[in-house]
Structure 1
Amino acid sequence: MTRPDGFQLDRALQTRLNVRCQALSLKDMPGFAADAQGNTQGNVLVEYAPWKTGRW
């Protein structure tokens, strides 16, 4: 069995990450500007691959 095959989703980690991402305020981050109505929009990609870091 290879490391990717042995991967099991960590629901607690996924939940914590979700909560923290939803709490982010883009207007406080560099590189994001508000539109005329004061709204910000952005996308984030998180790649969770512990077998690539050797910390699995």
Structure 2
Amino acid sequence: MNAGDLAAEAAARGDKAGEAYWLHVQEVVDQAPPLSPEQISKLRVLIWSDSEPCATAA
């Protein structure tokens, strides 16, 4: 699900504030520069490590 989908859902519910919020989020994301290869590598490591159960959790 992306910001456009969430904006459409909010509009279907008649939630104008929610729709405006998600449309703004989509606009900001669309203006962001593409990720560098280094950033992609770091994100892959973070996503991979988050998918493993934490053995030290109490």
Q: After TM superposition, is the score higher than 0.5? A: no
TM-score grouping bracket, smaller chain normalisation: 0.3 to 0.5
TM-score by length of 1: 0.33
